[in-house]
Structure 1
Amino acid sequence: MTYVNKLLKDSIILLLFCLFMFLFLFAEVFKTTSLFNRIPSSFINVNTIFLSIILEAIPFILLGVFVSALIQAFVSENAIRRVLPRNAYLAVIPAAMLGIIFPICECAIIPVVRRLIKKGMPSHVGIVFMLSAPIINPVVYASTYYAFRSIPYMANSRMLVGFISSILIGLIIYRQFKKENVLKTKKEDLHEEHYHHHPKRNKFLDTLYHASDELFDTGKYLFIGAFLASLFQAFFDRNALLSIGTSTTLAPGVMMGFAYVLSVCSSADAFVASSFGSTFTAGSLLAFLVFGPMIDIKNTLMLFAYFKKRFVLFLLFITPIVVYLVVFILQEFII
């Protein structure tokens, strides 16, 4: 029965995606028909925004699942233990800087971190990598610097706040969960263990197997998250935010909430944030740029799919608090 429900859910998501693609490709043809003219323009905007999010995220999802599959096939548990510092507190520092070497955005990072934790990486270290990598990487730094050419310190401030926040969250996670297993156990995980104990298998075929399996598993949550984000973008009046844009206390929290539902990829969100530059404080824009890549609608659904509910709820609770406090302190004393 569970398999039938899963198959039905996956089929519905696939059909919805095909419907959106059909409307996207043939919208111009149907504009001349009377039926099409009766559809409110806001619903057409939902379709356009949804597909733009999907098309923007798919290349990074492919990268993420492929890297995840390579880790599963070629990286041993002993290799991970050798490269990490033995001290649980010191290990978070290199983890927070891994994004410089592995520039992975938030659309792709969760499958990679899940695989690393399954391979033996401590949970709190994996979470630090997951939160920091979409922020602390050369691509994001370049896009932020270009988008905020009139505010040259914004790119550096984003890297600094992302670095500090991810480390603090990782340490809190360690204190709360320590060596507790935070991953969900799935049937396919047992299947993977069966494969793992057969070293004579072709590792390249195993890589393709794991990549395809994880792509379909991750993709459905991306579609749901992208659809919810497109609904928000199409129907929410951004002018409602302008009245509190100058408040140093409220504006950062509002922009963090905006970043959560907007779900823009970290390589492009700086251009969205810069469009609010004339009405929002620098601190609130910084909160948008840091919190959005850490937690948004898309990766929340993925987190609930791969991690235990109690752990995800704690992460969703502590992350905005830490980011808000770090941004608030920075804007009060530095920017």
Structure 2
Amino acid sequence: MLPLLIPAVFLIIAGIVWLPEHPELLDNAYVDTFKTAFIGILLEALPFVLLGALLSSLLRVFVPDEIISRWIPRRPVPAILFGCLLGILFPVCECGMIPLVRRLMHKGMPLYVAVVFILSGPVVNPVVYGATLTAFRSHPGLAYARMGLAFAVAALIGLIIYITVKKSPLRLSIQRETGERHEQGTRGGKLVAVFVHTSDEFFEMGKYLIIGCLLTSGIQSFMNQGSLAAIGEKPLGSYLFMMGLAFVLSLCSTSDAFVASTFLHTFPAGSLLAFMVLGPMLDFKNSLMLLSLFKTKFALYLFFLIFSAVFIGSVLVSLGL
């Protein structure tokens, strides 16, 4: 429940401080707009969240970790490229990425390849590509740019990790993922295990999606459009606002494009790209999981690399959008 604390506190504070000063926001027109926006975003995103949860569960149950480990090339550059493309074969949402990578590292996956997979896997996969293309039907270039930038950021950070980190940053207290024991002990065979894991992941990701839809619908419905336009007119402000929003919302990568598309006519395309690339790589819930996997010093180093690379990369890519 801890990852839900920041958005929940944000909602409570906004309600206490803002609404008494603007009673007109409780008019039926604003409420109707809020409900319409909320239901629209939610219904568009849910099928992709369900599909992502199902594919993740099929991977967990039917594909042994040893198969992935055996495929990793020995040389660093091919290994980094392999890590970037691994999400195409094994689409896993960022919610299930850390447990999977933890198992793979126990089986011999190098650190730099694991980091590349953590960063690229939730974005560079067919489910997320399809969701992004659906959300930005009129601007398909954003879907292509999202895949390309995520690939480039993950590869660059993987190369930096390979060059600069020589000692293992894993916490000594890390144990095998308890989900493995749960999976082995599930009664009814693998098919039942698939349904159990799919439902678990769907409801785990769904709560973040609902919080994200609530916040986004509230911003779109109740926040003064002139204020949003003012933020969007400032390049630095729009990028920082959207990247901060991505961190706080902690949306699943299969649904964040639908939230980003609601800002399409208010913010520059580059800031929406930063939102969609940073969120799956570094959000509130994911940062907590990374801190549980890696030592604090390395985790903070990784956070800095992710933020810097996404910010600079999205600015550069936006010049061609």
TM-score when normalising by structure 2: 0.69
Q: Does 1:294 align with 2:281?
A: yes
CA shift at 1:94, angstroms?
A: 1.4
Superposed, 1:195-274 pairs within 5 Å as: 237=223, 240-274=227-261
Distance, in Å, in 2 between the alignment partners of 1:147 and 1:231 is: 18
Q: Which amino acid aligns with 1:98?
A: L
Q: State the partner residue of 1:321.
A: 308
Change (3 A) 1:226 1:272: closer
Q: Contact 1:228 / 1:297 at 8 angstroms: preserved in 2?
A: no
Q: Spell out, residue by residue over 1:62-118, the C-alpha distance to the aligned partner (whole angstroms, 9 max, x if none).
A: 8657745766xx444xx5554222112331111101111111121221111111111
Q: Contact 1:114 / 1:183 at 8 angstroms: preserved in 2?
A: no
Distance, in Å, in 2 between the alignment partners of 1:202 and 1:147 is: 39
Q: Spell out, residue by residue over 1:197-221, the C-alpha distance to the aligned partner (whole angstroms, 9 max, x if none).
A: xxxx99999999x99xx99xx99x9
Distance, in Å, in 1 between the alignment partners of 2:69 and 2:138 is: 44
Q: State the partner residue of 1:117.
A: 105
Distance, in Å, in 2 between the alignment partners of 1:311 and 1:292 is: 19
Q: State the partner residue of 1:29.
A: none
For residue 114 of structure 1, give the secondary structure of its aligned residue in structure 2. helix
For residue 236 of structure 2, give the secondary structure of its aligned residue in structure 1. coil
Change (3 A) 1:61 1:309: farther
Residue 159 (structure 1) aligned to one of 147, 153, 158 = 147
Task: State the structure with more CA Rg.
Answer: 1
TM-score when normalising by structure 1: 0.66
Bigger relative contact order, structure 1 or 2 (CA pairs below 8 A, ≥6 apart): 2
CA shift at 1:134, angstroms?
A: 1.3
CA shift at 1:248, angstroms?
A: 2.9
Q: State the partner residue of 2:132.
A: 144
For residue 246 of structure 2, give the secondary structure of its aligned residue in structure 1. helix
Change (3 A) 1:83 1:185: same
Distance, in Å, in 2 between the alignment partners of 1:106 and 1:96 is: 14
Q: Contact 1:154 / 1:286 at 8 angstroms: preserved in 2?
A: yes
CA shift at 1:330, angstroms?
A: 1.4
Distance, in Å, in 2 between the alignment partners of 1:92 and 1:204 is: 38
Q: State the partner residue of 1:198.
A: none
Query: How many aligned positions are there?
Result: 281
Change (3 A) 1:62 1:146: closer
Residue 174 (structure 1) aligned to one of 162, 169, 192 = 162
In structure 1, the gaps of 5 or more residues are 1-8, 14-40, 193-200
Change (3 A) 1:306 1:61: farther
Residue 331 (structure 1) aligned to one of 312, 318, 321 = 318
Q: Contact 2:51 / 2:127 at 8 angstroms: preserved in 1?
A: no
Q: State the partner residue of 2:116.
A: 128
CA shift at 1:315, angstroms?
A: 1.4
Q: Does 1:98 align with 2:80?
A: no
Distance, in Å, in 1 between the alignment partners of 2:277 and 2:136 is: 15
For residue 285 of structure 1, give the secondary structure of its aligned residue in structure 2. helix
Q: Which amino acid aligns with 2:250?
A: S
CA shift at 1:324, angstroms?
A: 0.7
Q: Contact 1:63 / 1:108 at 8 angstroms: preserved in 2?
A: no
Distance, in Å, in 2 between the alignment partners of 1:275 and 1:70 is: 37
CA shift at 1:171, angstroms?
A: 1.4
Q: State the partner residue of 1:285.
A: 272
For residue 121 of structure 1, give the secondary structure of its aligned residue in structure 2. coil
Q: Contact 2:102 / 2:177 at 8 angstroms: preserved in 1?
A: no
CA shift at 1:179, angstroms?
A: 4.7
Q: Contact 2:239 / 2:274 at 8 angstroms: preserved in 1?
A: yes
Q: Contact 1:266 / 1:293 at 8 angstroms: preserved in 2?
A: yes
Q: Does 1:84 align with 2:72?
A: yes
Distance, in Å, in 1 between the alignment partners of 2:190 and 2:110 is: 23
Distance, in Å, in 1 between the alignment partners of 2:116 and 2:110 is: 10
In structure 2, the gaps of 5 or more residues are 5-30
